[in-house]
Amino acid sequence: MKQYPDLTLRECIYRSSLLSFLIGTGIHVDPEVHSRRGRADMVVTCEEHDWVIEIKVAETTGDVDRQADAALRQIHERGYAEGCVNPILLGIAIDDSKRAIGGYRVEILQTREDPSS
């Protein structure tokens, strides 16, 4: 029997680790960015793009692709990229059995004008 915390807590730990790493590199990161239908795990602003990132935890290696797809689908369904400039969507699946990124899905949306202009 595994003696790990529940899935939600593990996802939070992985998200916090990635967030700390990105902030440590000097990249501008906004955690828990709210939309009308939920909140993205993080939005990274880098040059002229906003990277909208959602993280899911796969309990087994065989579940990685499904979780990466689910993360990208959640970004779309909940409108996390609304208001973002030149958004790049990134769904990340953490392979919990290996404690590493097991898979990801990337989608570049059509270029949008800066909403502040």
pLDDT digits (tens, 9 = 90+) for 56-86: 999 888 899 999 999 999 999 999 999 898 9
Contact 87, 44 (CB under 8 A): no
Residue 10 burial (CB < 10 Å; 0-12/13-18/19+)?
Answer: middle
DSSP per-residue codes, 64-93: HHHHHHHHHHHHHHTTTTTT-SSEEEEEEE
Instruction: Give pLDDT, residue 1.
Output: 43
Global pTM value: 0.84
pLDDT (tens digit, 9 = 90+) per residue, 9-68? 678 888 999 999 999 999 999 999 988 889 999 999 988 899 999 999 998 888 999 999
At residue 112, does pLDDT exceed 60? no
pLDDT (tens digit, 9 = 90+) per residue, 94-108? 998 888 999 999 999
At residue 5, does pLDDT exceed 70? no
Q: Please state the domain extents for the chain.
A: 7-108
For residue 6, what pLDDT band results from cuts at 50, 70 and 90? low
Q: Give strand ranges (E) for the chain.
A: 28-35, 38-46, 49-58, 87-95, 100-108
CATH architecture of the domain formed by 7-108: 3-Layer(aba) Sandwich (3.40)
At residue 115, does pLDDT exceed 70? no
